Amino acid sequence: MEAPGRIWFGYIAAVAIALVGLVTLDLLAIGLAALVLVATVLGEWYRGRQAALAVAAQDADLPELVSRWARGWAYSRGFPRPEAVPGGVRVEVSEPGRRVEWVTTDAPDTLAGLVDTARATPEAWLSVVTDSPGGVRPWFAEGGLQVDGEEALMSIDLADHGSRELPDGYRAEVEREGGIIVVTVRSGETAAATGRIAVIGTDAVADRIQTDPEHRRRGLGGAVMGLLVSAAREAGAVRGLLVASETGEPLYAGLGWHAEARVVMARSAAPPTSVESRHG
Ligand SMILES: CC(C)(COP(=O)(O)OP(=O)(O)OC[C@H]1O[C@@H](n2cnc3c(N)ncnc32)[C@H](O)[C@@H]1OP(=O)(O)O)[C@@H](O)C(=O)NCCC(=O)NCCS
């Protein structure tokens, strides 16, 4: 994000109105000039603050991104706030087959202990955020966990997010539930595509992005993302985070998101999952 420049138009307008006021001795015009000047200064201050927040949000390291993503994800899904543990977070998912999930980085000093803990916990998931999935999978195999797919932790400066027109024949609804924004795209009364984004401070975590199989590859996923991001920016968010499924990743990449790391998932003994997406 570029540093915002001066709002020259505001200063020029303030000076012009003030000159008119002085020449005509019109107190109203002088007052208006003062108002325009104050609004311009406040506008510059606000833009500068947003830019500084965006820079701070982008400087985060991987453990911090993991914990910020997990916080938004848990909020979106109605889970309790994740608990910090060495190397990452522990989330009370409380779903059948997925009672608890650890989401951590691949730091070797914490990974071995977490693999043991996950194996000893029924219906537990362990998701490891890493630049080296091939280096993590042997830890799972040797630790007796079952590998369960790979996703991608992605992020974006929301100012750089692409937007996509809604194709003809569809209409979109945008609803807000507290800090969660929900978009539903309908064809008649049928929900053809949906998605949500949880806004926490300057972070926006996208979640449950899905298009009905009969309506896929028509641009609905992109349109949902564009609407979610636009509403999240209005709510003050500057940084987007999500964990993308295999099918979601190319869609997000095309909208400007970039992969921060891979997410390798494993679980203790439990029936295999049949969902298309584990975290998004
Ligand atoms: C991922 C998902 C949401 C995408 O939804 P979608 O409505 O098909 O998304 P779009 O149509 O906007 O884009 C999908 C692809 O179709 C392409 N596309 C868009 N409009 C198109 C058109 N008119 N004709 C042909 N292709 C088109 C896009 O370029 C994109 O291609 P890419 O994936 O190679 O980049 C959908 O596949 C899905 O629900 N998957 C299962 C759940 C899931 O994994 N969700 C993601 C969680 S992170």
Residue 68 lies in a domain: yes
124-130 and 98-105 beta bridge pairing? parallel
Residue 186 lies in a domain: yes
Is 60 exceeded by the pLDDT of residue 271? no
Question: Which pLDDT band, with edges at 50, 70 and 90, does 75 fall under?
Answer: very high
Average pLDDT, the chain: 92
254 ligand 1 Cβ < 6 A: yes
Question: Which pLDDT band, with edges at 50, 70 and 90, does 72 fall under?
Answer: very high
Q: Which two tokens stand for residue 208?
A: 């449950």
Residue 210 alpha carbon, nearest atom of ligand 1: 39
CB 224 within 8 A of CB 194: yes
Residues in the chain: 280
**218 Cα–ligand 1 center, Å:** 7
Residue 1 lies in a domain: no
17 ligand 1 Cβ < 6 A: no
Q: Are residues 80 and 137 in the same domain?
A: yes
Top mutation candidate among 216, 243, 257 for ligand 1, by most atoms within 8 Å of CB:
216
SS3 176: strand
Residue 207 lies in a domain: yes
Q: Are residues 146 and 161 in the same domain?
A: no
**216 Cα–ligand 1 center, Å:** 6
Q: Are residues 192 and 107 in the same domain?
A: no
Average pLDDT rounded to a whole number, residues 7-17: 92
169 ligand 1 Cβ < 6 A: no
Q: Are residues 93 and 178 in the same domain?
A: no
Q: Are residues 79 and 108 in the same domain?
A: yes
Q: Are residues 86 and 166 in the same domain?
A: no
220 ligand 1 Cβ < 6 A: yes
- Quickly tell me which residue has 């606000």 as its tokens: 46
Residue 3 lies in a domain: no
Q: What's the CA dihedral at 91, 256, 239, 88 to 10 degrees?
A: 30
Q: Write out pLDDT tens, residues 178-197.
A: 999 999 999 999 999 999 99
Q: Are residues 119 and 37 in the same domain?
A: no
Residue 275 lies in a domain: no
Q: Are residues 251 and 183 in the same domain?
A: yes
pLDDT value, residue 106: 93
Residue 279 alpha carbon, nearest atom of ligand 1: 48
Residue 248 alpha carbon, nearest atom of ligand 1: 1
226 ligand 1 Cβ < 6 A: no
247 ligand 1 Cβ < 6 A: yes
**166 Cα–ligand 1 center, Å:** 13
Q: Are residues 178 and 225 in the same domain?
A: yes
Quote the domain boundaries for residue 224.
Answer: 157-261
Is 70 exceeded by the pLDDT of residue 200? yes
- Quickly tell me which residue has 């064809």 as its tokens: 187
Q: Write out pLDDT tens, residues 243-270.
A: 999 999 999 999 999 999 999 999 997 5
Q: Are residues 83 and 173 in the same domain?
A: no
Q: Are residues 44 and 139 in the same domain?
A: no
pLDDT value, residue 273: 59
93 ligand 1 Cβ < 6 A: no
Q: Are residues 173 and 253 in the same domain?
A: yes
CA-nearest residue, atom 18 of ligand 1: 217
Residue 16 lies in a domain: yes
Number of domains in the chain: 3
